[in-house]
């Protein structure tokens, strides 16, 4: 498992090209990242 906590901007930069390549118009972030309480634990 990765110990890095990504920022929303980092996630967007990683996910956007993947979503576009697969025809995803509106990807959603959910869980601890969406709530802003992601932790490396």
User: What predicted TM-score, i.e. pTM, was given to this entire model?
Assistant: 0.71
Q: How far is CA 18 from the centre of its chain?
A: 11
Contact between residue 8 and residue 29 where contact means Cβ atoms under 8 Å apart: yes
pLDDT at 19: 96
CA pair distance 35, 37, nearest whole angstrom: 6
pLDDT at 15: 94
Q: Domain boundaries in the chain?
A: 1-41
pLDDT by 10-residue block (mean), the chain, 41 residues = 82 95 94 84 72
């Amino acid at each position: 498992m990765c110990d890095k906590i990504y920022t929303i901007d980092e996630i967007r930069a990683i996910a956007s090209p993947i979503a576009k390549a697969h025809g995803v118009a509106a990807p959603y972030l959910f869980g601890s990242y969406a709530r802003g309480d992601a932790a490396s634990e």
